[in-house]
Amino acid sequence: MFMYSHADVVRGSPAFDPLSGPASREGPSAPVSARLDRRAGAAVDRRPAPGVRLRVGVIGASGYVGGELIRLLGRHPHVDLAGLQARGREGTALADIHAHLTPLDLTVDAALGDGPLDAVFAALPHGTGADALPGIARDGTTVIDLGPDFRLRDPADYPQWYGFVHPAPELLAIAVYGLPELHRDALTALADSPVAIVGAPGCYPTTTLLALAPLARAGLIADLVVDAKSGISGAGREARAASMFGEVNESVRAYGLGGHRHVAEIEQELAAVGAAAGMAPEANPGAVNVDFLPHLVPMTRGIHATCHVRTTRPVNQDELDALYDHAYRDEPFVTVVGEAPATKHVLGSNHALVHVRHDPRSGRVIAIGVTDNLVKGAAGQAIQAFNVVHGLPETAGLEQLPLFP
């Protein structure tokens, strides 16, 4: 396990920024919004002064997640969208890439733009952020990566699950998994940290972990099968035969058999939830080698995760209700519901709905989670984490209700 301190990480900074990221914060162009000072020993404070808006950039602005980030950040009360970057898009009107964002009247460039930024959101394919983002983070900008490159703590997971050797393994030890419901304290601590990297969770893990966390905390997961479904936007905007209307419509298909990549972070975080509650890994044996099977279903947005759990001891519905109520009663974006929820109940919003049911006949517990993969499963959750890191109200920019029907 890597045990680098923040000071080691900052001192080891290479001047590496292949995406032409923001300029150094040193000198007169240092930002006014978050009070970052790179002099040795100087205190760091990412919280903006009252009334000051944070300067924020989006890398990968042309994709589905990039577009969703811009849609939400474009109306965020504490943010100025100061740089939108996408490959080969110098001076392109945002409206030409995302027609629905025409009212924002913004431009996308091939580089991130001039001047220091307080935070950068990156929505890039795996392996791309690991190269591009360390230089930006070491320069003091908060980095929120929506790809998987900073989600996993063990560097050995990257060759195993993603097929590349991580170029900055020392940063994995200090990056925070950006699920605020599980890691709010660690995200809050990044406000005073010289390097702040958030590995925003995947959409399937977000939904699955929110459904299962109360059971893991109580050491109740003896055996686990996760049966999950995703809408087609989960596959991104890049054209692929398997994503074409004629191949997806009126059809359902399982994929990722034998080990979908998201298993790695589901196992990592179930272990972390248990450990935070004082549970040894053997307390939740079903969370060690998770049986996770995703399916592609013919809808645009939405994740639905049904978790079938055999428990380590007998439980009843009252105990489950108390566990889930305790876990989520103060959470702004997670609601425990008494009936099985639908993906349409969260469409376009940062809300997650969770339902738990004990089946006395089979003895199993069924825990169901639903989210919008592009909001709570991606852009909304990343903004929620950003709000926490910068000391803003956690719900800022995320208060819209779901669309229905």
Ligand X SMILES: NC(=O)c1ccc[n+]([C@@H]2O[C@H](COP(=O)([O-])OP(=O)(O)OC[C@H]3O[C@@H](n4cnc5c(N)ncnc54)[C@H](OP(=O)(O)O)[C@@H]3O)[C@@H](O)[C@H]2O)c1
Region of 59-67, 98-106, 210-218, 246-254 interacting with ligand X (CB under 6 A): 59-67
Nearest residue (CB) to ligand X, 203 versus 353: 203
Nearest CA to 350 out of 405, 307, 387 is that of 387
Q: What's the CA gap between 243 and 245, in Å, rounded? A: 7
Instruction: Give the H or E element holding residue 294.
Output: strand 291-296
Q: How far is the CB of 240 from ligand X (least distance, A)?
A: 10
Bridge partner list, 252: none
Judged by CB under 6 A, does residue 87 bind ligand X?
yes
Judged by CB under 6 A, does residue 86 bind ligand X?
yes
Do the beta carbons of residue 37 and residue 102 sit within 8 Å?
Answer: no
Judged by CB under 6 A, does residue 315 bind ligand X?
no
Do the beta carbons of residue 365 and residue 315 sit within 8 Å?
Answer: yes
Please state the separation of Cα 96 from the chain's center in Å.
27
Region of 32-40, 98-106, 125-133, 220-228 interacting with ligand X (CB under 6 A): 125-133
How many CA atoms lie less than 13 Å away from 18 in the CB half-sphere? 8
How many CA atoms lie less than 13 Å away from 162 in the CB half-sphere? 24
Q: What's the CA gap between 19 and 267, in Å, rounded? A: 32
**What type of residue sits at position 205?**
P
Judged by CB under 6 A, does residue 65 bind ligand X?
yes
- Going 211 to 129 to 9 to 383, the CA torsion angle's sign is negative
Judged by CB under 6 A, does residue 203 bind ligand X?
yes
Region of 46-54, 55-63, 340-348, 351-359 interacting with ligand X (CB under 6 A): 55-63
Our answer to whether residue 203 is catalytic in this structure is yes
Judged by CB under 6 A, does residue 214 bind ligand X?
no
Q: How far is the CB of 288 from ligand X (least distance, A)?
A: 25
Q: Which of 55, 101, 128, 327 binds ligand X (CB under 6 A)?
A: 128
Judged by CB under 6 A, does residue 312 bind ligand X?
no
Q: How far is the CB of 384 from ligand X (least distance, A)?
A: 13
Q: What's the CA gap between 237 and 232, in Å, rounded? A: 9
Count residues near ligand X (CB under 6 A). 26
Give 3-state DSSP helix, strand, coil % of the chain, rounded to 5. 35, 20, 45
Residue in 195, 203, 353, 378 annotated catalytic: 203
Judged by CB under 6 A, does residue 302 bind ligand X?
no
Judged by CB under 6 A, does residue 11 bind ligand X?
no
Q: What's the CA gap between 140 and 116, in Å, rounded? A: 9
Q: Which of 113, 116, 135, 202 binds ligand X (CB under 6 A)?
A: 202
Judged by CB under 6 A, does residue 143 bind ligand X?
no
Nearest residue (CB) to ligand X, 234 versus 286: 234
How many CA atoms lie less than 13 Å away from 56 in the CB half-sphere? 29
Judged by CB under 6 A, does residue 295 bind ligand X?
no
Catalytic residues: 203
Where do contacts with ligand X occur on this chain (CB under 6 A)? 60, 62-66, 86-87, 123-126, 128, 146-147, 202-203, 233-234, 236-238, 373-374, 377-378
